[in-house]
């Protein structure tokens, strides 16, 4: 079924574009932090920069910049699509600033999800498998078990963070976004950061 013309505006098209990019963006976050271990360059890196916390911080900052670049790309593609398929809507660009801001936060969260898993597991294949398997399994579980449906709205990243992509943000959905981020980003990042700080570099 063809989307109604009313859905051909920046918010809707940017939402679709952002969600497509967000599928692979966490993989880039994983590769960003597992490179030292997978390529066996950790000894060189940590010798040049003995304070490992600085390396972690630099990788997180690089991830944020990468998420910003992904957002810019999504906005550019969206603009091209809208201009090429102009339906003469007066509200074609309505709410553009808010939609772009939400998309930026959405991409940052997805990339940091990969960073957290990469820090926690150090192994690129393991982190990628866990990234694809764990949130999907949790989403299926909360979607099929009625007793967990309420929990899923607060701890399922795909459910909570899609409010950002769809632009359906309220005080409640912001709280759900924060709760899911704490469970899927903050906890793995803290645990993984501790592991990086204490793991022998010759392993």
Burial class (CB in 10 A: 0-12, 13-18, 19+), 110: buried
Asked whether residue 26 is assigned to any structural domain, the reply reads yes
Asked whether residue 88 is assigned to any structural domain, the reply reads yes
Domain region containing 77:
9-198
Q: Among 181, 55, 31, 54, which residue's Cα sits nearest to residue 115?
A: 31
Asked whether residue 84 is assigned to any structural domain, the reply reads yes
Q: How far is CA 162 from CA 115, 126, 168, in A?
A: 19, 25, 8
Asked whether residue 82 is assigned to any structural domain, the reply reads yes
Task: Look up residue 199 and give its two tokens.
Answer: 């793991």
Percent of the chain with pLDDT over 90: 36
29, pLDDT greater than 50 = yes
Per-residue pLDDT, averaged over 136-161, amounts to 85
Asked whether residue 95 is assigned to any structural domain, the reply reads yes
189, pLDDT greater than 90 = yes
pTM assigned to the model: 0.84
Maximal CA-CA distance, the chain: 62
The secondary structure of 87-143 as a DSSP string is: ---TTTTTTHHHHHHHHHHHHHHHHHHHHHHHHHH--HHHHHHHHHHHHHHHHHHHH
Per-residue pLDDT, averaged over 110-138, amounts to 91
Q: Residues near 161 by Cβ (< 8 Å), separated by ≥ 6?
A: 106, 109, 110, 177, 180, 181
Q: Are 15 and 6 in contact (CB under 8 A)?
A: no
104, pLDDT greater than 90 = yes
Q: How many domains does the chain have?
A: 1
Q: Among the listed ranges 3-7, 73-77, 85-89, which one has the minimum average pLDDT value?
A: 3-7
At 1 the pLDDT is 41
At 70 the pLDDT is 93
33, pLDDT greater than 90 = no
Per-residue pLDDT, averaged over 154-178, amounts to 89
Mean pLDDT of the chain: 84
Asked whether residue 2 is assigned to any structural domain, the reply reads no
What length does the chain have? 203
Asked whether residue 3 is assigned to any structural domain, the reply reads no
At 86 the pLDDT is 67
Asked whether residue 187 is assigned to any structural domain, the reply reads yes
């Amino acid at each position: 079924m063809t989307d109604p013309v009313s859905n051909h505006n920046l918010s809707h098209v940017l939402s679709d574009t952002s969600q497509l990019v967000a599928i692979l963006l966490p993989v880039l976050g994983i590769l960003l932090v597992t490179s030292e271990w997978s390529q066996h360059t950790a000894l060189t890196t940590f010798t040049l920069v003995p304070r490992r916390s600085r390396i972690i911080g630099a990788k997180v900052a690089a991830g944020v910049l990468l998420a910003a670049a992904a957002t810019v790309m999504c906005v550019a593609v969206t603009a091209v699509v809208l201009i090429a398929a102009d339906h003469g809507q007066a509200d074609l660009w309505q709410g553009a600033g808010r939609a772009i801001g939400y998309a930026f936060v959405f991409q940052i969260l997805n990339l940091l999800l990969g960073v957290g898993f990469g820090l926690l597991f150090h192994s690129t294949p393991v982190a990628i498998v866990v990234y694809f398997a764990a949130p999907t399994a949790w989403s299926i579980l909360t979607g099929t078990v009625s007793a967990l449906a309420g929990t899923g709205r607060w701890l399922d990243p795909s459910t909570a963070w899609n409010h950002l992509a769809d632009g359906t943000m309220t005080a409640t959905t912001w709280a759900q976004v924060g709760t899911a981020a704490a469970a899927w980003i903050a906890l793995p990042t803290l645990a993984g950061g501790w592991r990086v700080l204490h793991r022998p570099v010759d392993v």
